[in-house]
Amino acid sequence: MAKSGKVHLVGAGPGDPGLLTVRGAELLDVADVVVYDYLANPELLDRCRPDAEIIYVGKKAAAHTFTQDQINALLVEKGLSGKSVVRLKGGDPFVFGRGGEECEALREAGVDFEVVPGITAAIAAPAYAGIPVTHRDLNSSFTLITGHEKEEDYKDEQARARGAASGSSDVDWSVLAKLPCVAFYMGVKALPRICSSLIDHGADPAMPAATIRWGTRPEQRTVVGTLADLPRKVIEAKLAAPAITIVGRVVELRQTMNWFETRPLFGQTIAVTRTRQQASDLSKELRQLGARVIEAPTIELAPPTDWTDADDALRRAGEYDWVLFTSVNGVSFARRRLRELNLDARVFGKAGIAVIGSATREAVERELALRVDLCPPAFVAEALAEALIDLGQASGRKFLLLRAEIARPILCEKLRDSGAVEVRDVAMYQTVSAKQLPAALLATLESGELDWVTFTSSSTAKNFAQLLGDDYRRRLMNVKLASIGPVTTATLKELGLDPTVQAETFNIPGLVQAMRDTGPSCS
């Protein structure tokens, strides 16, 4: 008998990828098929296996790409074929998410399913806008309503035939008008009608209300008003779907509880131009500070064209007085290769370990479980050479450098000039340039939304300019540029670009700090 699959209805949460549940993450990590829609943050798909089949069934402009029947059929088909399927839905699968209908279809077809609840927009978006949905002094109930614009947006023929509730028309406004706190899903266009109906049925026109768009995402925008003036304010602010509206006195608490929108880099759009492998640390930190990050890998890392030299060097690493690592990538590739050769950190024997930069130090400690003997305070090659010379560790010594194929020769030269007997420079990886910049980045650049571009090396700077094309200077005219250190700054200047800031400490935290210090006022 064929192996039967299972369909997991997983709540993706409201947008912030950190709000996915642990169970949801576990399932996404191993899924064979992922079926996701418009409100599920596509960043979550980065977790999936590279060979997972990813199917988008969300909205394409105004029209549905897939009807609900087609989605149900797809889930049944994938489930019956023995696959582990994740049906990833924005927020919670059962809160106005049609998860119930999908379960019915799966049950009817005999396909096993599991439901993983998610954090729904009505709770999360207000929370990120500084609005608690209940408060002991203000409300003891909280109601979720769908205020969809048109019946047919939500209910198809079949559902109507079943006599299913047909949306806002079945709402009893005189009851709603008495409730202390109500969240309306899907109601941006319908907002004027929602607010006037509440007022007509006795709600206080001065009742505080807020509309939150893209809650919990870096693009979050909040408009606050009263039942009487919120519709006008929302139109003036050009707030469109997806947005949720919360009506109740708890909205007033935003004055003291607004925490997310006050983060230092909130509202800033920042391009991170590192390699794909490296991007995550910087991106994570910037996101933590509220920025919207667009990763623009300009270079990719690849193993050396030929491993012969590197393999020999790794096997004999213990014969050197010092082994030098100049980047996190050098460490990662060394570790990978050691594994492939069925070797481990014992190859380094009694060699001293010296590194450039605190991140490289951490990588050596974490990935190779080696203690670092030397890490000079200035994170440049010159400083490492000088530190070794100052310690009397250059003359008569043997050095092994494990680093990138293209690297500045200064470190080797300085050591040789200071009497080193051997300086063996071995490439652990090479960089190859990316073919093009991501469409999302180009779009923000065109629309003037891009606030910053970060540069963490000379090669990213050169490649980024090249990928932008001949008129890169004009295109970057209104964008702030952040450089990680003097070498990268020099390259930017050679390219005719003037960095807005340069990190004081030449590492990722230093770079982030420099951008924080600039603040939004300079944009």
**Contact residues for ligand SAH, defined by CB under 6 A:** 14-15, 39, 89-92, 95-97, 120-121, 125, 185-186, 212, 214-216, 241-244
Which spans in 109-181 are helix H?
121-128, 151-154, 157-161, 173-176
In the set 37, 321, 425, 451, the catalytic residue is 37
In the complex with ligand SAH, the residue whose CB is nearer, 147 or 330, is 147
* The one catalytic residue among 6, 16, 46, 59: 59
- Residues 362 and 354: their CA atoms lie apart, in Å, by 12
We find the least distance from the C-beta atom of residue 9 to ligand SAH, in angstroms, to be: 11
Distance of CA 187 to CAs 212, 234, 476, Å?
11, 11, 38
Closest-approach residue to ligand SAH (CB): 91
Query: Cβ of residue 87: shortest distance to ligand SAH, in angstroms?
Result: 12
CB-based contact 380:486 (threshold 8 Å):
yes
At its nearest, how many Å lie between ligand SAH and the CB of residue 66?
Answer: 16
**Residues near 167 by beta carbon (within 8 Å), at least 6 away in sequence:** 146, 148, 151, 154, 155
Shorter beta-carbon distance to ligand SAH: residue 88 or 400? 88
In this structure, are residues 133 and 29 in contact, taking their beta carbons and an 8 Å threshold? Answer: no
Q: Supply angle C-alpha 247, 268, 187, rounded to 5.
A: 25
Nearer to ligand SAH, 100 or 448 (CB): 100
> Which C-beta is closer to ligand SAH: that of 125 or that of 323?
125
CA–CA gap between residue 292 and residue 217 (Å, rounded): 8
- Count of CA atoms in the C-beta half-sphere (13 A) of 371: 2
Measure the CA–CA gap between 242 and 235, rounded to whole angstroms: 14
Q: How far is CA 519 from the centre of its chain?
A: 21
Comparison of 121 and 412: residue with beta carbon closer to ligand SAH: 121
Cα separation values, 359 from 196, 379, 415, 511, Å: 57, 10, 23, 13
| Separation of alpha carbons 98 and 117, rounded Å | 13
3-class state of residue 462 by DSSP: helix
Distance (Å, whole) CA 317 – CA 335: 13
3-state secondary structure of 152: helix
CB of 271 to ligand SAH, least distance (A): 23
Task: Locate 19 and state its tokens.
Answer: 């709000």
**99/376 with CB nearer ligand SAH:** 99
Q: Supply the Cα-derived Rg of the chain in whole angstroms.
A: 28
Active site residue 37: yes
Smallest gap from residue 205 Cβ to ligand SAH (A): 23
Supply the minimum distance, in Å, between the C-beta of residue 345 and ligand SAH: 46
CA dihedral for 450, 451, 454, 459, sign (positive or negative)? positive
Report in angstroms how near the CB of residue 119 gets to ligand SAH at its nearest. Answer: 8
Burial classification of residue 150, based on how many CB atoms lie within 10 Å of its CB (0-12 exposed, 13-18 middle, 19 or more buried): exposed
- Tell me the closest approach of the beta carbon of residue 234 to ligand SAH, in angstroms: 13
**Bond into 242 cis (ω within 30):** yes
Rounded to the nearest whole angstrom, what is the least distance from the CB of residue 129 to ligand SAH in the complex?
9
Task: Tell me which DSSP letter residue 472 carries.
Answer: H
Whose Cβ is closer to ligand SAH: residue 195's or residue 368's? Answer: 195
Concerning whether 29 is annotated as a catalytic residue, the answer is: no
Q: Which is nearer to ligand SAH, 216 or 502 (CB)?
A: 216
Strand order in the sheet with 322-325: 299-302, 422-433, 398-404, 322-325, 352-355
Q: Looking at beta carbons only, is 149 or 300 nearer to ligand SAH?
A: 149
Specify the residue, 121 or 404, whose C-beta has the smaller distance to ligand SAH: 121
Residues 268 and 352: their CA atoms lie apart, in Å, by 43
| Amino acid code (one letter) for 282 | L
| DSSP code, position 118 | -
With beta carbons less than 8 A apart as the criterion, state whether 91 and 118 touch: yes
In the complex, the smallest distance separating the C-beta of residue 242 from ligand SAH, rounded to whole angstroms, is 4
H-type alpha helices, 206-324: 230-236, 254-257, 279-288, 308-315
> Which amino acids are annotated catalytic?
37, 59
